[in-house]
Chain A
Amino acid sequence: MYTASDLRKGLKIMMDGNPYIITVFDFSKPGKGQALYKCKMRNLINGNSTERTFRSNDKFEPAPLEERPMQYLYSQGDEYHFMDNNSYEQLTMTREQLDDNANFLIDNMEVSVLFFNVTPIDITLPIFVNLTVTQADPWVKGDTSGSDTKPVTVETGYVVQVPPFIEEGDRIQIDTRTGDYITRVKE
């Protein structure tokens, strides 16, 4: 059981039957009166944000959350398949659940899956992923006209802004947290 003094940004608690993560935390203690713990929290299942103010006597259940390493196998339509390398258990998540993460999944990628009890609710990818450019407008060396970035498509179908010298077939490194191009890689 957590008490109010355990509250901090990043703590995961149960509230109204749902798991929440505290995103903003503010401690207030007006002139020798009772402390107020003001929290902004995000529902880890549906992503909605809410605000609550707690008092010193409030108590909270820790959220029964667990992260397990799994491997991405393949996708079929809207369904993305993952496997636990230890138990060989497989599970699927939908494109909607994966949200932007689906843009960076490549076969056999190691990811971390967040479970709420036994239900997968979110994944965390490695921070950097290398992807092949499958479509890019050709670059003419010496062409100094135009903008300093251009859009290209990578093997997952994701479109990203890159410097003009990137060509089809190049491998580029992308930051999965922001979706931004980082650098060209030689592999």
Chain B
Amino acid sequence: MISATRLRQRSAIIGAVRRFFEDRAFLEVQTPVRLPVLAPEAWIAPETAGDHFLQTSPELCMKRLLAAGHSSLFQICPCFRKGERGRLHLPEFLMLEWYRRDHDYLSLMDDCEELLWEVADSCNLAEPRDGERQPLSLEPPWERITVAEAFARFGGIGPEEALAAGKFEEVLVERVEPNLGRERPCFLYDYPVELASLARLKPGNPAVAERFELYLGGIELANGFSELTDAAEQRRRFELERKAIVRAGREAGPMPESFLRELAALPAAAGIALGLDRLVMLLTGGASLEEVVTFTPEELL
């Protein structure tokens, strides 16, 4: 079970995160957790709740709110992903998501730098450490490297080649990730479009999507992108995901029709999802999520 110190630190960190966004005039929202339809994703299995699903991310509702005219939103909520359990995974975890109209993914990267720097500072935490207890500096600016550069430098194979050979995740996890964000945090950005179904294509480079991941000490902390706002293109990508879901042996749920309809009203926007349990772990020098949550699933029986 979580220690008293860590529980206090967790509370302070979440409070500081909230204040960060309130100070910047972001509106905090709550969207329904139990949904009749989810964004189709090939490799995330949702938990069912009767004939509905528990959210794997509040993304679709958040984008519908942006499309309705709200400009800066954030949400702190539990998300659920079936079968994901390990040192850095819990089937139920706390997510922070924030969205900005008329911005792109570069603004989100700046937000991350400011957020972590300010939260660590206001909570008076000792030096943050990565999962192997090596010290990390949060001082901006942080490193930024493209997926193509990172695969060339650490992977020995190009990202497209790796994807075609079905080895993208292995190369990423075994060769690339351990080298990311070691002494200071690092953004890995510009992913192959096959791996970013909800992200906008990079103007001038249709093979790449404006998606990034934030790494601290080899650990993935956040996933952000410039949002895809072309409803026809989004529908096409959802169809590809649904086919992949069926190939993986699961049932493809319905198409998110209301989301696709309202997407037309969304101008340029950017959104990001950050794992708050992992953030607490990294800022308090923990080595596994078990140290920073009140109860693990095993402790509930």
Q: Determine if A57 and B248 form an interchain contact, defined as CB atoms under 8 angstroms apart.
A: yes
Query: In the assembled complex, how far is the CB of residue A2 from the closest CB belonging to chain B, in whole angstroms?
Result: 13
CB neighbors of B among A10-33 (8 A): 25-33
CB neighbors of A among B162-178 (8 A): 168-170, 172-174, 177
Q: Determine if A26 and B169 form an interchain contact, defined as CB atoms under 8 angstroms apart.
A: no
A27 to B83, CA, bound (A): 10
A28 to B83, CA, bound (A): 12
B86 within 8 A of partner (CB): yes
Q: Determine if B84 and A33 form an interchain contact, defined as CB atoms under 8 angstroms apart.
A: no
Q: Determine if A57 and B249 form an interchain contact, defined as CB atoms under 8 angstroms apart.
A: yes
Interface of A, helix, strand, loop or mixed by DSSP: loop
| Contact among B41, B84, B195, B248 with A27 in the assembled complex (CB-CB below 8 Å) | B84
Chain A residues contacting B83 (CB-CB under 8 Å) are 5, 35
A119 within 8 A of partner (CB): no
CB neighbors of A among B81-121 (8 A): 83-87, 89
CB neighbors of B among A42-63 (8 A): 53, 56-57
| Contact among A5, A28, A32 with B195 in the assembled complex (CB-CB below 8 Å) | A32
Q: Determine if A28 and B41 form an interchain contact, defined as CB atoms under 8 angstroms apart.
A: no
A149 within 8 A of partner (CB): no
A27 to B168, CA, bound (A): 16
| Contact among A5, A32, A35 with B223 in the assembled complex (CB-CB below 8 Å) | A32
B44 within 8 A of partner (CB): yes
| Contact among B84, B86, B213 with A31 in the assembled complex (CB-CB below 8 Å) | B213
A34 within 8 A of partner (CB): yes
Chain B residues contacting A106 (CB-CB under 8 Å) are none
Chain B residues contacting A27 (CB-CB under 8 Å) are 84-87, 89
B220 within 8 A of partner (CB): yes
Chain A residues contacting B89 (CB-CB under 8 Å) are 27, 29
Chain A residues contacting B169 (CB-CB under 8 Å) are 28, 30, 33-34, 36
Chain B residues contacting A28 (CB-CB under 8 Å) are 86, 169, 173
| Contact among B44, B87, B170, B220 with A26 in the assembled complex (CB-CB below 8 Å) | B87
Query: In the assembled complex, how far is the CB of residue B18 from the closest CB belonging to chain A, in whole angstroms?
Result: 25
| Contact among B86, B87, B172 with A30 in the assembled complex (CB-CB below 8 Å) | B172
Q: Determine if B43 and A34 form an interchain contact, defined as CB atoms under 8 angstroms apart.
A: yes
Chain B residues contacting A32 (CB-CB under 8 Å) are 41, 43-44, 195, 223
Residue of B nearest to A53 (CB): B170
| Contact among A5, A31, A36 with B170 in the assembled complex (CB-CB below 8 Å) | A36
Q: Determine if A31 and B87 form an interchain contact, defined as CB atoms under 8 angstroms apart.
A: no
Chain A residues contacting B44 (CB-CB under 8 Å) are 32
Q: Determine if A29 and B84 form an interchain contact, defined as CB atoms under 8 angstroms apart.
A: yes
Chain B residues contacting A31 (CB-CB under 8 Å) are 195, 213, 220, 223
A33 to B173, CA, bound (A): 11
Q: A30-B177, A57-B249 are in contact. Are A35 and B84 (CB under 8 A)?
A: yes
Chain B residues contacting A5 (CB-CB under 8 Å) are 83
Chain B residues contacting A25 (CB-CB under 8 Å) are 86
Most B CB within 10 A of own CB, among A31, A33, A34, A36: A31
A35 to B172, CA, bound (A): 12
Q: Determine if A30 and B41 form an interchain contact, defined as CB atoms under 8 angstroms apart.
A: no
Per-residue interface assignment for chain B, residues 35 to 54, with 1 indicating a CB less than 8 Å from any chain A CB and 0 otherwise: 00000010110000000000
Per-residue interface assignment for chain B, residues 196 to 233, with 1 indicating a CB less than 8 Å from any chain A CB and 0 otherwise: 00000000000000000100000010010000000000
Q: A53-B170, A56-B248, A57-B248 are in contact. Are A33 and B43 (CB under 8 A)?
A: yes
Q: Determine if A30 and B248 form an interchain contact, defined as CB atoms under 8 angstroms apart.
A: no
Query: In the assembled complex, how far is the CB of residue B38 from the closest CB belonging to chain A, in whole angstroms?
Result: 13
Question: Which B positions have Cβ atoms within 8 angstroms of A?
Answer: 41, 43-44, 83-87, 89, 168-170, 172-174, 177, 195, 213, 220, 223, 248-249
Known: A27-B85, A28-B173. 6 other contacts (CB 8 A): A27-B86, A27-B87, A29-B43, A53-B174, A56-B248, A57-B249
30 residue pairs A–B, Cβ–Cβ below 8 Å: A25-B86, A26-B86, A26-B87, A27-B84, A27-B85, A27-B86, A27-B87, A28-B86, A29-B43, A29-B84, A29-B86, A30-B169, A30-B173, A30-B177, A30-B220, A31-B220, A31-B223, A32-B41, A32-B43, A32-B195, A32-B223, A33-B43, A33-B169, A34-B43, A34-B169, A35-B83, A35-B84, A53-B170, A56-B43, A57-B249
A-B residue pairs, 10 tightest by C-beta:
A27-B86, A33-B169, A5-B83, A30-B172, A28-B173, A34-B169, A30-B169, A31-B213, A34-B43, A30-B173
